Structure 1
Amino acid sequence: MRKPESNLLSTLHAREPGETCDSKTEYWHKEHCCLYCQPGTYVLTHCTTPHTLGRCQPCPLGEYAPHNKLEVCRPCTQCRREQVMLSPCWSYVDTECQCQEGYYCATPDCETCQHCSKRCPEGEEILQACNATSNIVCGAPDQGHTSGADSVHLPFLDFGLWILGVFVLIWHCTGGIG
């Protein structure tokens, strides 16, 4: 089965005989290719000559445009009550929000942060603490080890801390580097 020519071209898109757009820097509008506006601006008027820039206008305060063949800027996202702002909205990038401590959301386009679970079912322990993108992970307790619901048991971490402690003790007893 033969794929259409437009699927075979990775960075050039054929539109009419002899007319191609560079998908990284241009977009197709009506009869020809126009250069993208810079991020943080939108297309006020499209180009009238192939492979040129139309008229671009800066986004108004409270709006952004990441890539630009957009004819309007997008409104900035407002973080919800159960979220914290990681980075503010700028004219070229939207606000970045994340669930605050005690909440999580497993989807990238998070609509609602969920409360983290506080404990595991009977006979299981917390293997991974709740974080902004996942709830606690529960599992069977390790044999020979006890851990409370608030701790995470990672055997390799215990060993690594033990080695570090021995190193610090030796370094301290020998007077350090000298």
Structure 2
Amino acid sequence: MAAGPVVLLLLLLVASVAVATSGTRCASDEYQNLGLCCKLCPAGHYLLQACSVNHTTGRCVRCEHGTFMSHPNREADCWPWTRCREDQEVVAAGSESSDQQCQCRSGRFYCDSEDCMESCFQCQRCDGLTLQACSATRNAVCATEVSPEPGSAGPWEWLVLSGALLIAVFLFLCLCGRKVVMWVVSWLKRRASEPGLASPRSSQPDEVLIPMNPMGDVPAPGSEAPPLEEEALALVPGAGTCPGPSGDTGESVEPQAVAATGSPAAPEQAPTALGLSILEQKYEQKYFLRNMPSDDIRIYYEFEHQVPECKWRMFMRFIGLDENEIEICERENPGNLLEQHHKMLLKWTQKLGRKTSIFKLMAVLHKMELHTCLQNIINKLIAENILVNCEETTN
């Protein structure tokens, strides 16, 4: 009979332990504190004081500016934002629930890893054309950089090959160089004495005549357009009703001086203002421009493309730009010839204002004896309905 109370006491103890165990089992969004289950503080907050009632939220405080907490928690403080280094920039601002995001400064630094914990790398500057600009995750790619192919010769191999080639050429010239030189000289003399040999001007690669506007002056297939000087001499001022200057200057365009050998005089001397003025008036009487603003890009597009690069700087000097203005346009647009040409023509229009004229450009090309280049530009402008031939409107 004495064992009865002991058994009853043990049963009560087991029941109390089971009740206590079941009461302290907390959910996934709770934490245990002094036998109670308290709910976690939400993201963007930290815990200041635990709960005093089971399954409730304690005292949570919002993260201060410059700190964050990205998930539900029971932390006593929020975490500080990541601070960007001097070689980094902010790409995503921090908030109460998210950290501040940094990356390498675009255009100046880059990093080839995800975190860039130590430092960013300085972007390289290309001396020539840039194929791919520097970004936060990759370096710039320059046009001069060529990846060596597998198995290609290295610098020492090329040096040895170049030296061997020079020795071979030297030995060849020592043994039979005099005979080769005499043969080349005699061949050139025979070519020069052959009748009907094309002149050097006709063999220039940039002197290719573009067919004229099919609705305008169409030359016969295979025939050359008449020289512009002859056209200018044949014009009669005021003969048509073409818009533009109608005053008669009473002067004629003199053909270019020709040396005794039959080749034109060197066009490297600046044309006189009087000669350019006469030529400009003649072109104004033969053609007129559609109603377009003087800075319309379509007017100067063909000049930028058709004038040979070797003649471009001289062309700019003749129309009135000085060396400093030409060099500024080149430095501001490195490696981009068309953009350099465009900027120079825009600077010319800004410098001369109302005195700028497409006919002045034609007159300069005429004086420089770039006749085929000039005719190509005229044909293109007529075909694009920018320039109109007065003779077509009067017929």
Report the TM-score, using the length of structure 1 for normalisation.
0.51
Aligned to 1:87: 92
1:29: Cα distance to partner? 3.4
The count of aligned residue pairs is 117
Is 2:114 the counterpart of 1:113? no
- CA deviation vs aligned residue, 1:111-156 (integer Å, no higher than 9, x gap): 22331675xxxxxxxxx997645779xx7649xxxxxxxxxxxxxx
Q: Secondary structure at the match of 2:43?
A: coil
Is 2:130 the counterpart of 1:104? no
More strand by share: 1
**What is the rounded CA distance, in whole Å, between the counterparts of 1:55 and 1:48 in structure 2?**
10
Q: Secondary structure at the match of 1:17?
A: helix
Is 2:70 the counterpart of 1:63? no
**What is the rounded CA distance, in whole Å, between the counterparts of 1:33 and 1:84 in structure 2?**
43
- CA deviation vs aligned residue, 1:18-58 (integer Å, no higher than 9, x gap): 233333x2233343332111222111101122321001111
Q: Which runs of 4+ in 1 moved over 6 A?
A: none
1:95: Cα distance to partner? 0.6
Is 2:43 the counterpart of 1:36? no
Going from structure 1 to structure 2, the CA distance change for 1:51 and 1:80 (only over 3 Å counts) comes to same
Q: Is the 8 A contact 1:47 1:54 kept in 2?
A: yes
Gaps of 5+ in 1: 1-15, 119-127, 143-178
- CA deviation vs aligned residue, 1:49-105 (integer Å, no higher than 9, x gap): 232100111122222222221111122222111112111111111111122233215
Larger radius of gyration: 2
**What is the rounded CA distance, in whole Å, between the counterparts of 1:130 and 1:26 in structure 2?**
49
Going from structure 1 to structure 2, the CA distance change for 1:49 and 1:80 (only over 3 Å counts) comes to same
Gaps of 5+ in 2: 1-19, 125-131, 141-146, 151-395
More helix by share: 2
Letter in 2 for 1:32: L
Q: Secondary structure at the match of 1:22?
A: coil
Q: State the identity %.
A: 33
Q: What RMSD in Å do the two structures reach over aligned CA positions?
A: 3.5
Report the TM-score, using the length of structure 2 for normalisation.
0.25
Q: Which of these residues, 23, 26, 35, is aligned with residue 21 of structure 1?
A: 26
Going from structure 1 to structure 2, the CA distance change for 1:79 and 1:20 (only over 3 Å counts) comes to same
**What is the rounded CA distance, in whole Å, between the counterparts of 1:44 and 1:133 in structure 2?**
41
